[in-house]
Amino acid sequence: MILSILAATPIVGALVLAVLPRGSATGGQMRPKVVALAVSLATLVLSLAVLAQYEPGDGGYQMTEQHTWIAAFGAHYAVGVNGIAITLVLLTTILVPIVVLASFDDRLPDPKGTHAYFAWMLAVEGLALGAFMSMDVFLFYVLFEATLIPLYFLIGSFGGPRRSYAAVKFLIYNLVGGLLMLAAIVGLYVVSSRQGDASYLLSDLKNLDMGQTTERLLFLGFMAAFAIKAPLWPLHTWLPDAAKESTPGTSVLMVSVVDKIGTFGMITWCLNLFPEAADWASPVIIALAVVSIVYGALLAIGQDDIRRLIAFTSVSHFGFIILGIFAFTSTSMAGSTLYMFNHGLSTAALFLVTGIMVSRRGSARISDFGGVQRIAPIMSGVLLLAGLSSLSLPGLAPFVSEFLVLAGTFTVSIPAAAVATLGIVLAALYILIMYQRTMTGPLAPGAEGVTELRPREIAALTPAIMLIIGLGFFPQPVLTAINPAVDAVVTHLGKTDPTPRTPTPIDVPSEQEGGH
């Protein structure tokens, strides 16, 4: 029951905001912000209560709840959490209060839309939580598609000058992917109904007996939807436009939370339902993931718009996550799951601090900044730390996850891991070049307005920064929850971790044989 309450809390909060009286101009705009922050903090407390009840064991689902939903279709309202799901539930509930607090001063095209702005944010949180906890593929699909609605309005109603174009492009790409997944879900219904009572439950679908061709076609339907959502090259082109036109808070919800549903779906649905097809497609997916890593990094280096730069860095980072998933080792997959969490934190910090910079300067062009550290040293320090975490500096959280992905991949594909390692070098270039051009040197004309971070902005960014540093030195609590669930997926795939390659020992003659 607690999981249903957890997902319902932000949805109820969104409905409250929708009917909340507008009031005076000043009070009317502050009231929805306070309510949204209170609801998001209450959701965080509930997620911590779920964490307190969760016990890492065999990787199975816990706190499960199941009710018949649509009997004619075999659909159920079924929710539960394993180590992978609870990690992403925590990421979501941690980030939303940060986003809400950091968005208090967002400049909206229509200030009267403040109620709707924060209501849509809470709606994103509730729908994403439901998707992460779903154990029925039909329920998952409904929530997977429903997340598009609040994001569409957040981009299209509250974004930049080309917000309508970016929102429509975002919607079209993701709807196409959703339609492909819907076709695959219909296929699952047909297969399951032929083998007994139709069911969409994960536990039932894992045991389906599918022909090779059928399994591969259904896998492609799911994978296409998740590859667009993740996003994976060459299906990524909606992301830079959406990130450029969105408010910083919307970008965080889109990239750090909702896009993770794509990589989560790859593990939970693609690998569990279609193990043979996933193995068949893995060489191509690994190749595309490696291209994403290098391509995203190279394009990030060439960007002058800060928001597009961060979007292309995320294309590169999602490449690492997908690479680790389809390497099929427990080390790489655990690294990918941890990477989802850590990338969410580092990207949130980057989007929010650069969003503050852009708001102060009135421009997102890197060339319009320069020397900001002279007048805003705290802002400069936060940007540097967030940037260093994005390039996976040792001692910061993303380093551990990136190392695990590469270490696990090296055992199955040295070429893929070697090329992917190039992404680390390129990450240093795009982050340090951006930092140098915006923060160092003489103060650029017009940059005088980039004032120091305010106490509320510091309060919003501090939890993310603390987690980035803390998990950099001590990631074990998260890995303890993740590892059993990952091991269960790897076992279901019929995979075992390859034996590490070691040099062949050289026989050294003993003294009796004439050695010295």
Question: Is the pLDDT confidence value at 509 over 60?
Answer: no
Indicate whether 114 pLDDT > 60. yes
pLDDT, tens digit (0-9, with 9 covering 90-100), for 254-292: 999 998 999 999 999 999 999 999 999 999 999 999 999
Closest CA to 269 of 309, 326, 226: 226
Output 407 or 500, whichever has higher pLDDT: 407
pLDDT (tens digit, 9 = 90+) per residue, 311-361? 999 999 999 999 999 998 989 999 999 999 999 999 999 999 998 988 888
Phi, psi of 121 (to 5 degrees): -60, -45
Q: What is the C-alpha end-to-end distance of the chain, expressed in Å?
A: 73
Tens digit of each residue's pLDDT (9 = 90 or more) over 33-56: 889 999 999 999 999 999 998 888
Task: Dump pLDDT digits (tens) for 425-483.
Answer: 898 888 898 898 888 888 888 777 778 888 998 999 999 999 999 998 998 888 998 98
Percent of the chain with pLDDT over 70: 95
Rounded (5°) CA angle 249-393-406:
100
- pLDDT band at 96, cuts 50/70/90? very high
Choice between 200 and 91, residue whose per-residue pLDDT is larger:
91
Q: Is omega for the bond preceding 109 within 30 degrees of 0, making it cis? A: no
Half-sphere exposure of residue 15, counting CA atoms within 13 Å on the CB side? 5
pLDDT at 28: 58
Rounded mean pLDDT of the chain?
87
* pLDDT tens-digit series, residues 146-175: 999 999 999 988 878 888 898 999 999 999
Rounded Cα distance between 320 and 113, Å, is 38
Q: Is the pLDDT of residue 94 over 60?
A: yes
pLDDT band of residue 145 (cuts 50, 70, 90) is: very high
One-letter-per-residue 3-state SS of 113-165: HHHHHHHHHHHHHHHHHHHHHECEHHHHHHHHHHCHHHHHHHHHHHCCCCHHH
Report, as an integer, the average pLDDT of 243-258.
90
In the prediction, which pLDDT does 515 show?
46
pLDDT in tens, 387-438: 999 888 888 988 999 999 999 998 888 899 999 998 888 988 888 988 988 8
The domain limits of the chain are 274-498
0.75 cut: is pTM over it?
Answer: yes
> Which has more pLDDT, 275 or 500?
275
Instruction: Count the Cβ atoms, other than its own, within 10 Å of residue 477.
Output: 12
What pLDDT does residue 25 have? Answer: 52
Confidence class for position 491, pLDDT limits 50, 70, 90: confident
More confident residue, 284 or 196: 284
Q: Around 22, how many Cα atoms within 13 Å sit in the side-chain half-sphere?
A: 6
Query: Looking at residues 13-28, what average pLDDT do you find?
Result: 74
pLDDT at site 516: 43
